[in-house]
Structure formats: C-alpha cells, structure tokens
Structure 1
Amino acid sequence: MLSAGRSLALLLSFLLCSQLWAADRLKVEGYPLDNGLQLILKPTSERGHVSIRLVVGVGFNQFDCRQKELPHLLEHLLFSGIDDSGEAGLEERMQALGGDWNAFTRDSDTTFVLEVPAANQRAALDLLLAALFNTEFTPERIEAAKRVIVHENGEHPAAWQRLLGASAKRNDATEQVATELGQACTEQDSLDALDTAALERLREQWYVANNMTLIMVGDLDRRLPAYLERRFGELPPGPMPELRELPDSTGHAEPERTLTTGLVGDTAQVNLIFTEPWVGELDQGTWQLLRDYLQWSVYRDLRLEHGLAYSPNVERSAYGSSSFFTITAEVARGDVEQTGQRLHDLLHTLAKNGLNDATLERLRDVALARPNWMAQGNSALADTYWSSLGSYEEGRFADPAPELRKIQTAQLDAALNLLLKQPSYLRVKQPLLSTTGLYVVGAVAVVILLLALIGLVSLLRRR
C-alpha cells in the first residue's frame, strides 16, 4: 500500500506541477501499486474533463486461430450489463454520469476508453470496475455478443467468390498476403467453440492487476491517489500465462494475384506489398521517414503528374512475426497495369538515383512537429500514451525526435534498396466485371438466346 507520505507527495505534485507537466507532454506521474497495476497520471490545464484508458495486456496474438476472437468476445460481453437491467441499464448509468465509453481489442491488448466529466471521474471508474468483474456470463448474453462480432467481421464470401479468389478474411490485401505466408488465420474465426468456461478462464488469467495499466489525463481529482490505492489496489494480482510465440512465415504467396471484390464496378485497388526487413538500431525511425518520403513521392507521381489516383497512400502493418510495407492506390480499372508499372519504375528510380536531401529535411520537419499537434487535448494525449506504452520508463515516455534527427539520407537509401531486394506481392482488388463487360456479357447472352429461339423455331417447322 502507498504510505501517507507518498499520497501527500502525489497530491502536492498535482497542485504544484500541473502546469509544468502540461508543458512537457512526455513527463507523467507514473508508479505501480503494490499489486502490480501500473498507474500513469497526467494533470493538464484542460478543466472539467478527464480521459481514461484502462489497458489490459491481452489481445488477438495470445490465441491461436481456433480462439482468436476470444478476447474480442469478452470485450463485448463486459458491456452486456451488471444486473437485470442489462446492457441498456449499464449504458444509462454511464450516461447519467455525463460520460461515454468504448473498448477496443488489438493484437496485444484490450483497452477500455472513457471520456467523463472531471467531477464524476471516480464514479466512472467504479462503474468500469463493476463491468469488468461483476458481469454475469449468461448464454443469452454470450450469443448476443457473438452476433455483434459476426456483424463487425462481415459475412463470409459466397462459393462463387471463393472460386474467383476472394478471401475469407477481411477486405485487406496485406492481410491476404499475410494469410498466404502463414502469418494470419486463413478463415474468419469460428465463435462456436467459445463458451462460458473459456471466457471465465480468460478473465481469471488475464484480467489481473499486474497485467493492467491505468492512464488518466486531464483535470484530475485531488483525492485520486488515495482512491486509486483503495479501489484499484484491492484488485488481485495473478501468475501471468506464458506468452504465445508469434508464427513465422511458413507459406508461399504468389507474386501477383487479382482478388474479386464484387460483381460489377469500374474501380480497382492496386496494392504493392513488401515484407519489411530489420535495418538495425534506428529501425523504427528509418521506416517512418521512408514511409513519409514514399508517401509524398507516390502522391506526386500518381496523382499530380499522371492523374492516375486521387489519394494513394503508404502504410506499415504487422502480422505474426512480420512487418509489411504496402503502397495502395485506387484507380480506374483500365489503369491497373499502368499504375503497377509506374510504382515499380518510381521505386527503382529512387533506389538508383538516391533520395533528395532537401525533400528529406522538409519531411523530417513534419515528422518532428507531428507529435506536438497530434497530442492536443486530453483525449489525444491519452491515446498517445496508450500507443506508446512500450517506450514508457520511470515516469517518462521516450522522445522519438533524437532518433529521427540521427537518420541521414544514406540510411534511407540503404533501407530502400534492402526493401526492393525482398519479395514483392502485387494484389489487385476489383469486381468481376466492368460496366462495359457487363453490357458485353448481356449482349452475348441476348444473342445466344435469340439464336437458340431461332434454332428452336426452325426445328419445330421441320416437324
């Protein structure tokens, strides 16, 4: 338990240092409770509002394909009600506090997001704890939560779509490649085997104090430290289950594939995908700056110079143990081949000639400024801490600026050349037929029907 002296010191920090902390967004008051629960508190000058993020360290990555949706199902179920009033009654109680809440399951965590008036921050936390630990897992509630997840995940492709190459996964080309490489599940996860026992086991094993981080940003209550010590300090810790190893690449992906997304349409999506290699100590900053550089280069080439795509983009993503680097462009169906060729030509020209120093410096300035304007307001700052938990240590989050300043053009040139040595995967997503193609098929069908009728009439006359 925290000593009275420690609680008094925290209170004085809230009273005297809030303006200093507000000026330094990377500085927080962070400490663990005796049960292992990590607190990250950030008083700000934004009055009357508090943003809360309770991060539980369990997500999709901790389960194999047969139970991949288990933490997601539990997340939904924990909003199903704590008494006979059910989900509606629970939501009404949060509304009565003037707050709003949601939750998100990601690869490595499940996070509960609350936005509440400062006056009700402790009452909102009480309600959250009740939802986490007092929710009863009835068969009716479990089935209702499963229906929600089925709706969120989308329906499975029909048989004709599978024959034409449509994926049973969500509509994402990079995930399709990851599936082919054995880094992602081949099918949408079945919910049939997820029962009450599995849900109870998940909550018992993973929803323990030493697997939680509570982030609070805003107009923090002066009595908050004592409240957190009392309410969150009573949560039991537990032995952590062994972390599941992420799968390595075990499959083979075709260099080029066309994925059918519907019956008729004149727009296609071109996706050029690479597996992202490790480039050493400055890996994260190197790929961030290279992503920004290629984002601008692709935009200038495809949109401004050739008018092929309105808003092409470059994204990085992770599946299993691999990271992927994806260039995506929405184009007219007839421009697919030209777009693919332009992307290959652009990348190899940049690799051959080297990146431009002035362009890099301009984009570096944007990258250095971005964290400041993205973290404006309590909600954005809380989300920043949530996404940066891996860099937190002893009351401070790591500043990415020093790493970004170290990276020179030569390092980006080397990273781009290394990227182009990796296998590339072109995935074109488009409907089965264009509008013109539909007309042609219709005309052919009409001609065939007419010929069949003429043949039938001729046959009948001969008789």
Structure 2
Amino acid sequence: MNISRSTLVLSFIAWLPLMAAAASPPATQEFSLDNGLKVVVREDHRSPIVTAQLWIKVGSSYEPPGQSGLSHALEHMVYKGSSKACAGEFAAILEKLGASENALTGTDYTTFYQTLPSSRTGVAFEILADLMSTAELDAQDFALELKVIQEERRMRVDDEIAASAHERLNSIAYPASGNRTPTFGWMHDLQRMNAVQLQQWYQAWYSPDNATLVVVGDVAPERIKALAQQYFGHLQRRVTPVALAPLELASAGERSLTLHEPVASPRLIMSFNAPSLATALDRRTAHALRLLNMLLAGSSSARIKQQLQLGEAIFTEAHSEYDAFNRGDSLLTITTQLNPDKLNDPDEALARLWQVIESLKSKAPEPAELERAKNLLIANTVYAQDDLERQAYNLGLLETIDLDWRLVDQDTDELNKVTPLDIQQVAKTYLTRERLSTAKILPEKNNG
C-alpha cells in the first residue's frame, strides 16, 4: 500500500496561525532497548488514544532479482498465526477494543500499526512483538495466501493502466538500483515464490535491532519504556544483512518506452532522476526539489496546471510528484493526459512541457510564487499534528530511511530557507535529458 500526501490550499490570512502551531513541536523522547530496538515516543494528550507503529527496515528495494514481492508477501503472512494466536484472533481482539489496524509495505519499509485506547497500549505491544518474532509462516497457508497476493497485484497493477505504466517506467528510470523493484513483486516471481524463501526473509530482517517502535498519543514516556521492555525486551538481536542505499547513475542517458493500451487519449509521463533527502549532498537541494515539484504541477496554482491544463487545455489531467523521503535516490515525475480535442500528439505535448521546464531554468520564480508553494507544503506538516497516525508515520519513515526523526520538527524552517535561485539551480541540474525517462501510453490500434 502507498501513503498519499494530500495538499491543502490556504490563504495567507489562514496561514498565520499555522506558523505559530508549527513553532512548538510536541514533547518527544527516544530510547533503545538492550537488543537494539529503537523506541520513539511523542506525547499528544488531546484525546485518550494512542497509535503504535512497528517499522521494519526492509522493503522492495532490498529484494534481489528473482525474489521481488517477498516483503509484501511477508507482511500478509505474519497475521496467519504465531505462538500466541491463530489467524484472525488478534484482529478479533482489536475489534472488541474498538481499535483499528493496518500494515504497509513500501520501497524501504514494512510497518504494522494499531490505534486504540491508550489504556490498552500493552495489547498493541504484545501483538506487535509476537508478529515480529514468532510468526509461523505455514507452507499450506502461504500457498493459499499467495493466490490472494497475486489477485491483489492483478487488481491494483495489471488491470490499472496508470499503475502498470508507472511500474514499467520505474524499471527503466532506475537502471542501477533496487528502487525499480515493484512492491507487489513481478507476477513471474510471485508464481515461483515459496515458504522457504519467506522464512529466510523473515529471519534475515525481522530483528529488533532492525526496527523502530513509534508511539504517539496520550502516553507517558516512562510507562512506554516499561511496556516496551516487558513485551520486546526478551527478543534476541540478530545480525542483519548489509543494505546499502540504492544510488542511481548521475547521467544515465535519455530513456523511453511506448505502451499501447485501451485509453481514450494519449498519456505522457516524464521522470527525472534526482537525489532524496537521504542522498543529497546538501539537504537544501532536496527541499528545493520538493518546492520545484509544487511549482511544476504539484498544486492547482502550479505552472503546468495553469498554463497547459486550465489555460490552453491541452491536458485534461496534469500532476507531479517528488518523494524526498527515500533511503536512496528518487524521481521527480510529471504525469499528464492529453485532451484529444486540442492535442493528440505526445511528442508535441512533450515539447510543450519542456517549454515550462525551461522557463524555470532561464528565470528564477518570483518570491510570491515560491511563497505559495512553501505555504502548501508547510500546511501539510502543520495539519499532520492533528492526526496521530500521520505523526507516527512521519517519525517512523525518517528513522527507517536512516534519518533523524527530529527533521520532522525542522521541516518548516528548512523549507523557508529555500530561495528562488535555489529553485532555478535544481531545475538546471536535475531536469535534464540525461536524467529523463518517458513513457507514452497510446490508444491501442484496432486491427479488426
């Protein structure tokens, strides 16, 4: 599953109180158990609720060729039985407590979480500790669950044109790293996956010294420390494999692919190789890329949307995304759908997009335009403080990609340091043909 990051449009007047809210981060502490488990506790006493998230440092970018999808398959299987419960028992217990639960697998992580009354925090800890240490991973259960996983891939990727196109584009946009590996796994790998591989993956990565427990809510840090020791302290530390950050070629050369699909009008995707917050030599570069993304097509006021979608109407859809929060390098991606009444040639659309990109290279954005983009990103940070699960997600993600959770509380200041000239510089450096991969999705031809 993927977490989407929504944007909120605020006027400057509405923005003023948000600056004050961002100035005082909640009380947060960290500690580690003797077995290496790191625990981050953030207090939020506005309601008697707590969210507990267990983050494991393993995801699809860790998977070797031929074994794609192992992390996601393992996420499914740890719920199928352990030393303390049969399949479905933990879910039934949580339901009786009025709790919610979920699990996510990404490029760099696998995370499990429960949100429940803070008085029942120990229940969440007991479940999470058991899942990460004594999952049974029965071969017969896995054979059945594998069919579910394969069907999930069909529904969410193979039968979804946009998802499938992005997956294939990633396979050429990341020529030198495991970031190209799809989270769901390639279907041919799922068809030959077995329970022995799953057990080996579990033993390799699900170790307390390869995990972070994030707790946010109506809690006292000393109480959390005692509970963590009670439920996780007995787990044995293991030696985990070395996992280097997935780095990309600085200039891989222009790459492209063309797909023929049952679409009403052509679609065009552009992806540029770029560093992340973890791999940039200067973190200001990553923050400038985040804002560049907003200026291109990351909001309703962005240039591509205003000029080419709403203005000239050559696109019916246009948006961009850049994920700064990877343990390895990242992509800045622009996705568009052509308006066949105005333009039906993806090559011409590509040329028009280049014109917008070149305008940011030739002239730095006006301060007011950049300020709007900053307000949008900072608003997301501020509003995340009203959601326990988002707070925990942001803290856990940073720790899992080997960055300090304190960067969450520094985000506003770091974004505010970015200047118009910084935007112009990252556009010149990273929005180049040598870093570009494109995917053209054309209406399939009727051969009948």
**TM-score of the two chains, using structure 1 as the length reference:** 0.77
Map of 1:47-62 to 2, 5 A cutoff?
47-62=47-62
Q: Does residue 1:298 correspond to 2:298, yes or no? A: no
SS in 1 for 2:66: helix
Retained in 2: the 8 A contact 1:94–1:127?
Answer: no
Q: CA deviation at 1:78?
A: 0.5
Letter of the aligned partner of 1:224 in structure 2?
I
1:211 aligns with 2:217: no
In 1, Cα distance between equivalents of 2:167 and 2:339: 19
Q: Distance in 2 between matches of 1:416 and 1:63?
A: 32
Q: Which residue of 2 aligns with 1:323?
A: 330
Write out per-residue CA displacement over residues 162-196 of structure 1, whole angstroms, 9 at most, x where no aligned residue: xxxx9996654641432667762595451355333
**One-letter amino acid matched to 2:371:** E
**CA apart distance, 1:257:** 3.6
Q: Cα deviations across residues 222-244 of structure 1 (Å, max 9, x unaligned)?
A: 74332222221111112222225
1:31 aligns with 2:31: yes
SS of the counterpart of 1:65?
A: coil
Structure 1 position 331, deviation (Å): 2.5
SS in 2 for 1:289: helix
Residue 22 to residue 112, structure 1, CA distance change in 2 (3 Å):
farther
Q: Is the 8 A contact 1:181 1:253 kept in 2?
A: no
**Distance in structure 2 (CA, Å) of the matches to 1:314 and 1:171:** 13
Is 1:198 paired with 2:197? Answer: yes
Instruction: State the alpha-carbon separation in 1 of the partners of residues 74 and 32 from structure 2.
Output: 26
Q: Which amino acid aligns with 1:266?
A: A
**348, 373, 394: which one aligns with 1:384:** 394
Match of 1:352 in 2: 362
Q: Is the 8 A contact 1:272 1:425 kept in 2?
A: yes
CA distance, structure 1, for counterparts of residue 59 and residue 368 of structure 2: 42
- Aligned equivalent of 1:272: 270
Residue 256 (structure 1) shift: 4.5
Residue in structure 2 matched with residue 454 of structure 1 by the alignment: none
Aligned-pair CA distance for 1:91: 2.3
Q: How far apart are residue 84 of structure 1 and its match?
A: 11
Cα contact 1:167–1:259 (8 A) shared by 2? no
Aligned-CA RMSD value: 3.4
CA contact (8 A) 1:78 1:132 kept: yes
In the alignment, structure 2 segments of 5+ residues that lack a partner are 1-20
Residues 316 and 123 of structure 1: CA distance in aligned 2, closer, same or farther (over 3 Å):
same
1:403 aligned to 403, 411, 414, which one? 414
Size of the alignment, in residue pairs?
406
Q: Residues 192 and 414 from structure 1, CA distance in 2 versus in 1: closer, same or farther, beyond 3 angstroms? A: same
2:165–2:439: 8 Å Cα contact kept in structure 1? Answer: no
Seen in structure 2, the aligned counterparts of structure 1 residues 50 and 417 have a Cα distance that, compared at 3 Å, is same
- Greater CA drift, 61-70 or 174-183: 174-183
- What SS does structure 1 have at the residue aligned with 2:52? strand
Bigger shift: 30-39 or 245-254? 245-254
Q: For 1:76-87, list aligned pairs within 5 A.
A: 76-82=76-82, 86-87=86-87
Letter in 1 for 2:286: Q
Gaps of 5+ in 1: 1-20, 159-165, 446-463
Partner of 2:429: 418
How far did 1:385 drift?
Answer: 1.2
Q: SS of 2:238's equivalent?
A: coil
Native 8 Å contact 1:43 1:219 kept in 2: yes
Q: 1:286 aligns with which of 288, 305, 311?
A: 288
Distance change in 2, residues 1:282/1:422 (3 Å): farther
Distance 1:333 1:252, change over 3 A: farther
Alignment partners' CA distance in 2, 1:248 and 1:380: 29
TM-score w.r.t. the length of structure 2 is 0.79
Q: 1:324 to 1:374 in 2, by over 3 A?
A: same
Find the structure with the greater CA-based Rg: 1
Q: Structure 2: which amino acid aligns with 1:293?
A: L
| Alpha-carbon separation, structure 2, partners of 1:336 and 1:180 | 30
C-alpha contact 1:57 1:211 (8 A) present in aligned 2: yes
**1:375 partner letter:** Q
2:173 paired with 1:175: no
Secondary structure of 2:226 counterpart: helix
3-state secondary structure, aligned to 1:266: coil
Letter in 1 for 2:108: S
Aligned-pair identity (%): 20
Shift of 1:427: 1.8
- Inter-partner Cα distance in structure 1 for 2:147 and 2:90: 19
Assess if the C-alpha contact under 8 Å between 1:169 and 1:188 holds in 2.
Answer: no
Shift of 1:64: 0.8
Separation in structure 1 between the aligned mates of residue 84 and residue 119 of structure 2, nearest angstrom: 28
**Counterpart secondary structure, 2:87:** helix
1:448 is aligned to: none
Q: Distance in 1 between matches of 2:320 and 2:84?
A: 48
Distance in 1 separating the partners of 2:429 and 2:172? 20
